[in-house]
Structure 1
């Protein structure tokens, strides 16, 4: 394990994070806010820690998958610990654990909050809170790869560790160029959304914060009643469309921009994603129709809720806590399904659900006819058996973490629905759950221990378990010792 290289890379990430706090400092200065001092010292502390870690550069800058996993896990933990400083030093979130929860929720694009009154925060803090969604959406390390020269063959381990989905591919031969393309698409789509929201009548500050939350599929709002504050069908529909856009695999946009439309629109995961969205909207719209004035009003609220939950954005226009049980169960299932691999969304990912479903049907057919030989196919390609086995293992670990978390969170003594959905929404990086943690609720009343469990769940969900799990085991040292004996 190349420890000096790991610390050196973490130092670069902390310096980068300090730089990313500067726009929020600018907002605080512009409005002469109390949080200006908090941002100033947070930047100094974060940059100082980063420079300290870079004082002793490593002799050997090569690293493999183990170093990539450790760098990814530690980077997200330390970025969250330092990113919480502006909230804590400003005393606007006086508890550091609460500040950490809010920051982890931001970076992991979860959108769950401990704040009962969001509007009391300074605008600089509101900007930082939403900006963490935008930073975490595409990934801190992907941004680092885009702006700093890295060894192409080894830095792939960083991108593979952080990027969502069962596998990662490069758009172009050089990984740095692939990271640049990803961020160029990300920035362009964000700017287009800001322009659309401005056209719809939303103020500039609101448009930026909303676009950050949508692009990262996070869902932090700047008003207590979220998107319902604007009471605008046009704004709701713009946000709903962009939540779907950011829930789609970004490689499809690369194909579109390079003129390879056929490759984009024949993508099977894309078809599954749109099919699930349309089916869920229709089912919920019919189910909630008695609560609203006609089918089209129920369709409006159903479409926003479905796109918000499946993209794991978490914005809200109505309190779906008040909807029938059937609709709430559909939304809970969508929390677990999530969006596409290679998007900024969370959840299990459509591609994993599709491959699991196809492997299950394949195994049932083999049970009936043991002589049959059939490979699992997805996107027109035959999926290697080790990929299928890896996805099955991932699903088992995914369910075990959920069950263990539910057991630990139940120590708070809250009702069953609150306990289960609080775990589902944090682990799948969605934001709101049901009952106490519904669209109008928050996580403030949970114990400090539970909030730390939620933080761990949010990080595990965003990094898709393995990088963080690897950091908390001694498997790196053990495997090295084991290999050295042969």
Structure 2
């Protein structure tokens, strides 16, 4: 199976055109706040022109059939190209000095990780901060999925792109045509973003702050326009609104679609959603009682802070209203473990995902039954249906590789001289696309002090986590490049 190089480059050109157009959308905020325009205008122009030139030079490709290998390569290279060009607004405006720092911030945006190196966010130009938030919104659902809705118009099938970018989403659950699925997902994504923006404005946020936080909430990204993140807003209303939308963003968008259609029985029958809800509720209640019993805060504030931090970490959003590492050592361990949880499949969350944890635990307990009854056929069941062994093996392989990559990442980052707890937290939060970690990269700190090598390592881990390991790692397999 040969790679369709000309078509791959053609689609990368299309993605850069979309990327450049997105940069130009930030100009109204620069105009409104009377800032210099040339940084964003030049960045958008360079990116748009480069993408257009690439697209025009390769548009006459006759073979427009995308194979699976093509899809994997497009998604990985697409994220890298968008991140490379996405550094231009930061560098030209001198908001972030140096390509390493700018690339780290950009890929943290596109992968919706939210790990930042900016030490004074509020001093940055408004237009640049909006670009920063927009990178997360674009990366949340995936600009690739947006391209899937456009590619059929150009005569290019997009199924392989969709599978490579969003392996957790089940297109057949909503509509048989992939183009329609992508459109519906984006309409839901856009609609929830607009609704949250309005609700946050009712709570006293300016339109600018409301739209920025809505973009990064629905993307489960966590970039904020304030140095103190959501802790800046001492408002129960604003924090509860963000809690609700973080939870929705961490929910499978197919389930959200059924909920909007009023098919609540179908929503509740989904085992992953039930487990996701139960984990959030039980952990939040348990932690809030401990925080309250320690007499640090009143009960409502204890509950709100606990609920906010639990949902923020589980959904890999990374917003902060309190420093959970200052509560108690055993609570720090709990939040560290939550860095490996992740939200639902088919959501904008990163991490291992609830459904994989569910299948892993079910298979582990059933294995004890199989040992007692070696002749019995005891399949793992999810939502009442038997799960094929291929899926079970895939989950086991994913978790094993995830933990292996994590261990190697901690080992390599430790060589840069960071403290061990910082290495544990930084690698976990980067691979899980969460944002805050432990130690020097905890909830009230950032990644500025990490060495250049460490930043490139963590950037690579962000990409691995966002594309769920296999999409990127298979490019390092020599069989991928064989012509057969």
C-alpha separation between the residues in 2 aligned to 1:475 and 1:130? 38
What's the secondary structure of 2:25's corresponding residue?
Answer: helix
C-alpha separation between the residues in 1 aligned to 2:367 and 2:358? 14
CA contact (8 A) 1:84 1:99 kept: yes
Q: CA deviation at 1:291?
A: 4.7
Q: Deviations over 1:161-220 (max 9, x none)?
A: 111528654521221111000011111111111111111111110100010110000000
CA contact (8 A) 1:150 1:176 kept: no
C-alpha separation between the residues in 2 aligned to 1:191 and 1:88? 30
Q: Deviations over 1:410-454 (max 9, x none)?
A: 012222111100000111000001121111101111111110111
Calculate the TM-score normalised by the size of structure 1.
Answer: 0.95
Q: Which residue of 2 aligns with 1:451?
A: 455
CA contact (8 A) 1:219 1:314 kept: yes
Write out aligned runs for 1:42-191 (5 A). Answer: 42-54=43-55, 55-57=57-59, 58-149=61-152, 154-165=157-168, 169=172, 171-191=174-194
Residue 280 in 1 paired to residue 283 in 2? yes
What's the secondary structure of 1:337's corresponding residue?
Answer: coil
C-alpha separation between the residues in 1 aligned to 2:89 and 2:173? 36
What's the secondary structure of 1:242's corresponding residue?
Answer: helix
Q: Deviations over 1:359-379 (max 9, x none)?
A: 111112112221221111011
C-alpha separation between the residues in 1 aligned to 2:86 and 2:67? 28
Q: Deviations over 1:255-301 (max 9, x none)?
A: 23334332122111010001110111122223323152343322121
C-alpha separation between the residues in 2 aligned to 1:221 and 1:40? 23
Write out aligned runs for 1:343-382 (5 A). Answer: 343-382=347-386
Q: CA deviation at 1:153?
A: 9.3
Q: Which residue of 1 aligns with 2:337?
A: 333
What's the secondary structure of 2:152's corresponding residue?
Answer: coil
C-alpha separation between the residues in 1 aligned to 2:161 and 2:176? 16
CA contact (8 A) 1:306 1:331 kept: yes
- Please point out which of 13, 22, 25 is paired with 2:24: 22
Q: CA deviation at 1:56?
A: 2.2
What's the secondary structure of 1:371's corresponding residue?
Answer: coil
C-alpha separation between the residues in 2 aligned to 1:169 and 1:351? 18
C-alpha separation between the residues in 1 aligned to 2:149 and 2:171? 16
- Please point out which of 8, 11, 30 is paired with 1:9: 11
What's the secondary structure of 2:415's corresponding residue?
Answer: helix
C-alpha separation between the residues in 2 aligned to 1:170 and 1:176? 14
Q: CA deviation at 1:48?
A: 2.1
C-alpha separation between the residues in 1 aligned to 2:259 and 2:234? 34
- Structure 1 unaligned spans of 5+: none
CA contact (8 A) 2:152 2:158 kept: no
Q: CA deviation at 1:150?
A: 5.3
CA contact (8 A) 1:64 1:154 kept: no
Write out aligned runs for 1:346-425 (5 A). Answer: 346-425=350-429
Across the two proteins, how many residue pairs are aligned to each other? 479
C-alpha separation between the residues in 2 aligned to 1:56 and 1:422? 40
Q: CA deviation at 1:321?
A: 2.1
Q: CA deviation at 1:464?
A: 0.4
Q: Which residue of 1 aligns with 2:201?
A: 198
C-alpha separation between the residues in 2 aligned to 1:150 and 1:380? 39
C-alpha separation between the residues in 1 aligned to 2:154 and 2:86? 28
What's the secondary structure of 1:409's corresponding residue?
Answer: helix
CA contact (8 A) 2:151 2:158 kept: no
CA contact (8 A) 2:64 2:155 kept: no
Write out aligned runs for 1:259-274 (5 A). Answer: 259-274=262-277
| Cα 1:151–1:85 shift into 2, 3 Å | closer
C-alpha separation between the residues in 2 aligned to 1:310 and 1:164? 19
CA contact (8 A) 2:64 2:157 kept: no
| Aligned alpha-carbon RMSD (Å) | 1.6
Calculate the TM-score normalised by the size of structure 2.
Answer: 0.96
What's the secondary structure of 2:322's corresponding residue?
Answer: coil
C-alpha separation between the residues in 1 aligned to 2:155 and 2:377? 39
C-alpha separation between the residues in 2 aligned to 1:152 and 1:356? 41
What's the secondary structure of 1:336's corresponding residue?
Answer: coil
Q: Which residue of 1 aligns with 2:221?
A: 218
- Structure 2 unaligned spans of 5+: none
Q: Deviations over 1:306-345 (max 9, x none)?
A: 0111111111111122110111111112111110000111
Q: CA deviation at 1:94?
A: 1.1
